[in-house]
Amino acid sequence: MDPLDVISNIEKVIPYYQPVFSADEHKIIGYEVLGRMIEDNGEAVSLGPFFTGNDIPDEYKIEVDEKVTAKALLQFIQSNQEGLIFINRDARLLMLDHGESFMELLQCFKAQGLNLNRIVLELSEKTFQGDFEQLVHVLLYYKTYGIKVAIDNVRGNIGELDRLSLFSPDILKVDLSQLRNDAGNKMYKDILFSLSVLARKIGASLLFEHIEINYQLQFAWLNGGRYYQGYYLKKPSEGFLKSDVLKVKLKEKCQDFIRYEKKHLEAGYQFAEDLHKEINRLLILLRKQTQEYDQLLSGLADAFTDKCFRLYMCDENGFQVTSNILKVHGNWEVYERFKGKNWSWRPYFLENIIRMRINKKGLLSDIYSDIDSGEPIRTYSYPFGDGLYLFIDLSYEFLFEEESLLY
């Protein structure tokens, strides 16, 4: 896209609006403003390449950005929109004048009836190389006027997680486009899960964008997405839509997701219940033969050889009191060197111990990656008695065969 063509035909620059849907009401809660340019054939072409091009002068980008924003805010006011309006800004360009021109633009439209509480500043800050503290200061200043801050295109890179909270963002926008290319990417899913945990801790809402297939929408729902956006829902358009345009469809989708999730949860609970009963039965038989812990575990290993690949026991403080009974190339082997190791540092270990002690029932973990093999596994924990707890690591092969458990 020739930048001179854009600047010389700036009157042909117009805003397009992509709706943002809510998970709770299944309605449109706002629109993201996107720049378009009307060509001679009447087609509206995206200005994305213009704004992201490295060889385009900053003053050109700023002028076009303000033109698109001004037209969008005017239409927003004239159509009496009650939701939010998401306005994109590059952090580097915003900070060229410390955010003053952007604030002046908003104040101009505030005088025309714009409620600044409806503004969401959608910030792209990945390429920002300036004074980070100054940027945070400007954003906090904006928030005193009721302006909300959304951090765009969050991918969960470890290096960015620490500084995201410094923005005090109201919304984290998470890009789901990669999930379309590899729906089974466990590491990517784990990264997105970490973002959902971060969002909850800092009081931000998750907005999942680039939703193009049903699986992505389901993933967003399952991982705490409060807002959804993408072509699977609605493409950008020149005007505003009725807020309940997808209410029926989204409610039906939500009900499908609920049924699917309940089915998997029920399968997990039923499996844990059945395994608990089976362990009880086997231990009664095995204890008639031996009271030695390693031998008891070896007997359980033989009985569950199609389900698990590792067994061991710990006391309630996490100190291992048995060997590891480990399957190697299809055969069970005993590794005594694990006796005395402490596992209380593992996430949820002590919490799960207390839960088992109080409820007198075993627990089935979520899927996680095994430290040694890197494969997805689940662990069943069982209150053995006498202050001891049995841990049975279920193999990926078994989980794969039991599809309802590989989740």
Domain boundaries, the chain: 3-229, 260-405
Position 141, amino acid: Y
- Closest C-alpha to 130, from 159, 97, 108: 97
The per-residue pLDDT for 159 is 52
Q: Rounded CA gap, 384 and 214, in Å?
A: 43
The per-residue pLDDT for 184 is 59
The per-residue pLDDT for 319 is 98
Instruction: List the structure tokens of 61.
Output: 């980008």
CB 368 within 8 A of CB 377: yes
The per-residue pLDDT for 29 is 98
CA atoms within 13 A on the CB side of 361: 9
pLDDT digits (tens, 9 = 90+) for 127-140: 677 888 899 999 99
The per-residue pLDDT for 181 is 63
Of all helices (H) and strands (E), which one includes residue 350?
helix 349-359
Decide if 3-229 and 260-405 have a common fold.
no
The per-residue pLDDT for 160 is 58
Domain 3-229 has CATH 1.10.630.10: no
What residues in the chain have per-residue pLDDT under 50?
Answer: 158
CATH code linked to domain 260-405: 3.30.450.20
Q: Rounded CA gap, 110 and 150, in Å?
A: 20
The per-residue pLDDT for 260 is 92
User: How many Å is the Cα radius of gyration of the chain?
Assistant: 28
- Residues 6 or more apart in contact with residue 150 via CB below 8 angstroms: 86, 120, 121, 122, 123, 169, 170, 171, 172, 173, 207
